[in-house]
Amino acid sequence: MSIQSVRLVLFVTLLSFTTNSCIVKDPVTGKKTVTLVSEAQEQQMGDSYNPQVLAEFGVYDDAKMQAFIEREGKAMGRISHRPQINYQFKIVDSPVVNAFAVPGGYVYFTRGIMAHFNNEAEFAGVLGHEIGHITARHSAKQQSKQQLAQGLLITGSLMSETIRQYGQAASQTLGLLFMKFSRDNESQSDELGVEYSTAVGYDSHEMANFFQTISRLSSASGQSVPDFMSTHPNPDNRFTRVHQLSDNIQTKIGDKSKLKVNRKSYLQMIEGLVYGEDPRQGFVENWMFYHPDLKFQFPVPTNWKYQNSPSQFVMQSEDGKGAILMSAGSGNSLQEVKTAMINQYKLTEQSSKNLNINGLTALEFTALQIPEQKEGQAAQPSSKLLVTLIDYNGLIYKLMGISLFSFQ
């Protein structure tokens, strides 16, 4: 290629790049930076993710803890680099130890992580770290790289590629829990965690101490703990660094003894917090799935693998060729839900009939999905579905039996 044409290509690339992007001032560093995501788009992203996150995990039912995170979070948002953002804070009902932030100002802490803080100052450090991801626009930068949606799905660990597609769309949001930022982003957020938590009056040395909890959790579970606890930079390095950053920032403060730790009030607040899996969201005992809150049960075939989340229950045969998914959602009518499924999964309907199950209106249909076979690629198995939709108590319950097969 001649130099001329290289120049031309470069110019065209640059041109098409700049038409979709804009140059903004980084709110934290003040440096000029290229972004593909505007502040309004960040807000839109957050507004569309938020209901999915809340539907997937559920909001943890404790008014005083929700009021606490809201109060502390808003106060910190006001002193942050982007005080104009309408920050929203929620404790979600998940036993996983994590905290995560979504563009547009949405910050979530799991009840699992709330159970592991020893005092308010540790909490405030992590809060500052998450707000830091928003103020430094890390998610927006990730989105610019098209990485936001590429999180690891929890369902992915269980289901085969073909069956996974039938999982709840909301499961995509689980990827957020496992979203990885770069090492630089994490370091910058640690720095902002120190800065923000100090600015609202907490001793950020406590934030450093929380990395020891993370270290213990990682070694106890034998696997890395996701997100805030992302293993890079490693918790031991972060421990040392955050102590140093705290020393630095605290030399600028006149009376260090005024910095808060608030151990007693924190431990009083979390008294009675649900710890570990919550049996009210369903559990399996002797190959029977029980949902005490929704008051139903059904058998799980012996030796099948299963996984429960607030929005769906999935079970899969040992050979991975069959699965049953159970979920509940909204919809105007059974017919409408059926049509939506047929379009979404590109199904060919084989049969359909209206049923009455224990006095409830139901619809049952069978369908095939035959994926397009692409040349030079491994053959995708086809799937056969038996779907039962039941209208009950304002929700549409969906039972989906899936079996995989290949044409010989």
Q: Which residues contact Zn ion by CB under 5 A?
A: 186, 189, 228
Q: In terms of CB distance, is 230 or 309 closer to Zn ion?
A: 230
Residue 228 CB, shortest distance to Zn ion, in Å, is 5
Residue 130 CB, shortest distance to Zn ion, in Å, is 7
Residue 226 CB, shortest distance to Zn ion, in Å, is 10
Q: In terms of CB distance, is 182 or 308 closer to Zn ion?
A: 182
Contact yes or no for 211/235 (Cβ under 8 A):
yes
Q: In terms of CB distance, is 42 or 186 closer to Zn ion?
A: 186
Q: In terms of CB distance, is 99 or 269 closer to Zn ion?
A: 99
Residue 112 CB, shortest distance to Zn ion, in Å, is 16
Pair type for strands 106-110 and 99-102: antiparallel
Q: In terms of CB distance, is 87 or 397 closer to Zn ion?
A: 87
CB hemisphere CA count around 140 (13 angstroms): 28
Q: In terms of CB distance, is 151 or 167 closer to Zn ion?
A: 151
* Residue recorded with tokens 């600028």: 252
Q: In terms of CB distance, is 170 or 176 closer to Zn ion?
A: 176
Write down how long the chain is: 408
Residue 272 CB, shortest distance to Zn ion, in Å, is 29
CA separation for the pair 361, 365 (Å, rounded): 14
Contact yes or no for 107/80 (Cβ under 8 A):
no
Nearest to 113, CA basis, from 89, 132, 80: 89
Residue 61 CB, shortest distance to Zn ion, in Å, is 26
364-386 burial, b for 16+ CB within 10 Å, e for fewer?
bbbbebeeeeeeeeeebbbbbbb
299's tokens: 């058998």
Residue 188 CB, shortest distance to Zn ion, in Å, is 9
Handedness of CA 70, 76, 79, 80 (dihedral sign): negative
Q: In terms of CB distance, is 82 or 164 closer to Zn ion?
A: 82
Residue 143 CB, shortest distance to Zn ion, in Å, is 15
CA separation for the pair 35, 195 (Å, rounded): 25
Cα→Cα distances 81→132, 169, 315, Å = 9, 34, 46
Cα R_g (the chain), whole angstroms: 25
CA separation for the pair 82, 42 (Å, rounded): 13
